[in-house]
Amino acid sequence: MTDSPFRVGFARVAGYAALLIAALQALGPILWIVAGSFKSKADFLVNPWRLPQSWLFHNYVDAFVVARVGDYVWNSLTVVTLGLSILLVAAATTAYALARFRFPGRGVVTVIILVTMMVPSDVLTVPLFVVLRSLGMLGTFLGVACLYAASGFGISVFLLRGYFMSVPREVEEAARLDGASTLSTLWYIVLPMTLPGFASVAVIQAMAMWNDLYLSFVFLRDPASATVPVGLLNFFQRDSVDWPRLLAALTALTVPVLIVYAVLQRRFVEGLTAGAAK
């Protein structure tokens, strides 16, 4: 850098300070949750902000044994995996078509996709019932997975299209000249180059599907099929919410999600290209 050492030092301190503040605003609630998960119910209600009077681990045990949170996790994993695979295939192919090909009807397709993003799910409850029932998919994981994929489709297409458009055309032209088909170009050339974008889309959609309450509440009514958010509703019992147990369940659920995210993040979003931002 052409700046003076003093300015470099100051900038570095400022940078760390900003990072710290940012981290605090993100971590604050997490610390609250974790601290709360070790308290007893009474302790939590008296003052949710102080440290636990005694550190109780039974909340975690209870969450998995009594509240059977493990079952919900398994169900959620199934649905999210299914939904994600359907979504990524559909969105990647569509986004590639929109990014690289000029064809009649391209504008129409874009508009249609945009429009489908603008309808809230509540409105479609009854029509979706009818559609799923006629397909015989009512109450199945596959049905809900398709709904998840459909609702995340628009955003994913637009994001992927943006990332695909930033791939230099020469590379694709070269592959084409070598005789590669369109699908091969997509799979072997374009996707690896846009892996950060692709991975981030996958992560974002996985989060959305994992946290979705509305669709699974309406369409997965069998208690055995409950996904995590639906299952967490059961913590809200008649007379009181068992906050510490709920927070324990949430902490236990968030940690693996974070680990997966951290790993994916390092591997993919960092990028295999050497470019740092500055």
Residues in contact with other proteins, shown as a per-residue x/- string from 127 to 156 under the rule CB under 8 A: xxxxx-x-x--xx-x----xx-xxx-xxx-
Does residue 53 touch other proteins according to CB under 8 A? Answer: no
**Of 16 and 57, which has the nearer Cβ to other proteins?**
16
Backbone angle region of 271, left / alpha / beta, with phi > 0 → left and psi within -120 to 50 → alpha: left
Site residues for other proteins, 180-219, by CB under 8 A, read: 181-183, 186, 188, 194, 196-197, 199-200, 203-204, 207, 211, 213-214, 217-219
Nearest to 242 by CA among 57, 29, 39, 74: 39
Per CB under 8 A, the list member of 6, 108, 177, 277 interacting with other proteins is 277
Dihedral of alpha carbons 140, 251, 261, 113, sign? positive
| CA–CA distance, 88 with 264 (Å, rounded to integer) | 16
Two structure tokens written together for 229: 């958010």
Q: Give the residue with the Cβ less far from other proteins, 6 or 101.
A: 101
What is the Cα Rg of the chain in Å?
A: 23
Q: Is 61 in the site for other proteins (CB under 8 A)?
A: no
**In angstroms, rounded to a whole number, what is the distance separating the alpha carbons of residues 58 and 245?**
9
The DSSP result for 25-91, as a single string, is HHHHHHHHHHHHHTS-HHHHHH-TTSPPSS---HHHHHHHHTS-HHHHHHHHHHHHHHHHHHHHHHH
Q: Is 175 an interacting residue with respect to other proteins (CB under 8 A)? A: no
Among 9, 10, 48, 61, binds other proteins (CB under 8 A): 48
Regarding 54 and contact with other proteins (CB under 8 A), the answer is no
Q: Which of residues 255-274 bind other proteins (CB under 8 A)?
A: 257-258, 261-262, 265-266, 269-271, 273-274
> Which residue of 27, 51, 65, 171 would you call a contact of other proteins, by CB under 8 A?
27
When binding is defined by CB under 8 A, the residue of 4, 5, 6, 49 that contacts other proteins is: 49
Q: Which is nearer to other proteins, 1 or 54 (CB)?
A: 1
163 binds other proteins (CB under 8 A): yes
Residue 171, interface with other proteins (CB under 8 A)? no
- 60 near other proteins (CB under 8 A): no
Neighbours of 204 (CB within 10 A): 14
